[in-house]
Structure 1
Amino acid sequence: MITTKETPHIKPNGVEIAETILLPGDPLRAKFIAETFLEDYQCFNEVRGMLGYTGTFKGKKISVMGTGMGPASMGIYSWELINVFGVKNLIRIGTCGAMQEDIELYDVIFGMGTATDSNYGHQFKLPGQFPLTASFDLLQKAKKIADEKGQKVHIGNILSSEIFYSADPNAMDNWRKMGILSVEMESVALYWNAIQARVNALCILTVSDHLITGEKTTTEERQKAFTKMMEIALELA
């Protein structure tokens, strides 16, 4: 829907924001996706350098926009996209650190649920714990697409941490023992906002580094090389 609405962080200037949006952390990855995969794309946001684009993929309208790093940044952008611009399907496509030995560099992970060390959910004033889960509809469709493409994926719980440089060198040990597949930084805010608004969200990740083996990808690879993840997400539109 074309809108004249704007927020302090998103100013579409009349460009449509689609009901389905891909959300990489890096705005340059959003630019790469638009230029590589979308037809007739237009830029709908440049505020604070957080680039957003809308175009078509196989005839279907889809948007892509950077979110920045951490739950605070994802919280702002996903809230505004949902509650101001009416986005219904939010698909995070990001990188993560693998935490299990059977997961390799470049593997794709679907975050069925997310554990967290973040206090983002305190605002909802719930009298207990709340399970943060992906949209089953999006998860089921993503798995079907991966199967059709012959792409192996890992599905399970991930960790969304707001700490990148931890003062505790053993901070990940207990999470790993509980079978957590990988760690990233944004899914907690995305899932909270989507669940509260009753819209769909899914976190699709590519392994960029490994917490056990110490393997890492390059910055260039993080920006452009994760096409398996992107193709699955685009098909969800």
Structure 2
Amino acid sequence: MEMTPTPHNGAETGEIAKTVLMPGDPLRAKYIAETYLENPVQVTSVRNMLGFTGTYKGKEITVMGGGMGMPSMGIYSYELYHFYDVDQIIRIGSAGSLQDKVELMDVVIAMGACTDSNYAYQYGLPGTFAPIADYELLARAAEAAGKQGTKAVVGNVLSSDIFYNADGGVNDKWRNMGVLAVEMETAALYMNAAAAGKKALCMLTISDLVFGEEKLSAEERQLGFGKMIEIALEL
């Protein structure tokens, strides 16, 4: 049996690019690879967390699912940084808007990530760590969105461990602090990148409004996600 660096990833050493685009959904990773990459090759399918490596405008890129929640993102991003020598991971996901100014199909570029998770306890820090994006990637993403004509909002997001929260007022509290949107993975990615001395960025397409009834249809999700994907590929 072939040996791989980790039991969670079937890729051999050298089969994953230095840049990894990471949607949560492995089937979206498959769609991105087949739609945007040249000569994509599936490099892993362990636990159906699909990963593909190909080229975009002559540069090698891997697209791989990251799953849902910080434990899943924590495992996959840690292994990519440490076992596959990946330099930068760009998360491309969806989020629920917490602010009226952040509308359906807007792209949120996460400058920082608040969290209700205890993920940072492992570092034994004498205070609260603030997980932030790599500035170079963030600035380039904002510039690419502007050239594309896509509305991009830069700011703080919330990475929550809880999707169905028993505290019905929790979103109001984060909204009052100016947090733009809520999702479930960014803080773990940013912490792993910081601890590894690597780069990370998260971009999110708004798929629903936490304080409204509107949600994207399947067709609108495809269009909105396409804009975000193209920004990520340009990085």
- Normalising by the residue count of structure 2, what TM-score does the alignment of the two structures yield? 0.95
- Kept in 2, the 8 Å contact 1:32–1:224? The answer is no
What do the CA deviations read for 1:98-132 (whole angstroms, capped 9, x no partner)?
00001111110000000000000100000001111
Q: Residue 109 of structure 1 aligns with which residue?
A: 108
Q: Residue 84 of structure 2 aligns with which residue?
A: 85
Tell me how large the CA RMSD over aligned residues is.
1.6
Q: Residue 100 of structure 1 aligns with which residue?
A: 99
- Kept in 1, the 8 Å contact 2:106–2:150? The answer is no
User: Following the alignment from structure 1 to structure 2, what is the Cα–Cα distance between the partners of residues 91 and 59?
Assistant: 18
Q: CA deviation at 1:28?
A: 0.5
Q: Is the aligned partner of 1:9 residue 2:8?
A: yes
- Kept in 1, the 8 Å contact 2:5–2:13? The answer is no
What do the CA deviations read for 1:155-206 (whole angstroms, capped 9, x no partner)?
0000000100011111111100010000000001100100001110000000
Q: Residue 183 of structure 2 aligns with which residue?
A: 184
Q: Residue 137 of structure 1 aligns with which residue?
A: 136
Change (3 A) 1:223 1:12: farther
Amino acid at match of 1:63: T
- Percent identity between matched residues is 54
User: Following the alignment from structure 1 to structure 2, what is the Cα–Cα distance between the partners of residues 97 and 55?
Assistant: 31
User: Following the alignment from structure 2 to structure 1, what is the Cα–Cα distance between the partners of residues 223 and 195?
Assistant: 32
What do the CA deviations read for 1:122-148 (whole angstroms, capped 9, x no partner)?
000000011110000100111111122
- Kept in 2, the 8 Å contact 1:15–1:44? The answer is no
Amino acid at match of 2:167: D
User: Following the alignment from structure 2 to structure 1, what is the Cα–Cα distance between the partners of residues 219 and 187?
Assistant: 26
Q: Residue 155 of structure 1 aligns with which residue?
A: 154
- Secondary structure at the counterpart of residue 6 of structure 2: coil
- Normalising by the residue count of structure 1, what TM-score does the alignment of the two structures yield? 0.95
Unaligned runs of 5+ in 1: none
Unaligned runs of 5+ in 2: none
- Kept in 2, the 8 Å contact 1:68–1:74? The answer is yes
Q: Is the aligned partner of 1:39 residue 2:38?
A: yes
Q: Is the aligned partner of 1:50 residue 2:49?
A: yes
- Secondary structure at the counterpart of residue 166 of structure 1: coil
Q: Residue 58 of structure 2 aligns with which residue?
A: 59
User: Following the alignment from structure 1 to structure 2, what is the Cα–Cα distance between the partners of residues 121 and 183?
Assistant: 19
Amino acid at match of 1:107: D
- Kept in 2, the 8 Å contact 1:93–1:205? The answer is yes
Change (3 A) 1:28 1:224: farther
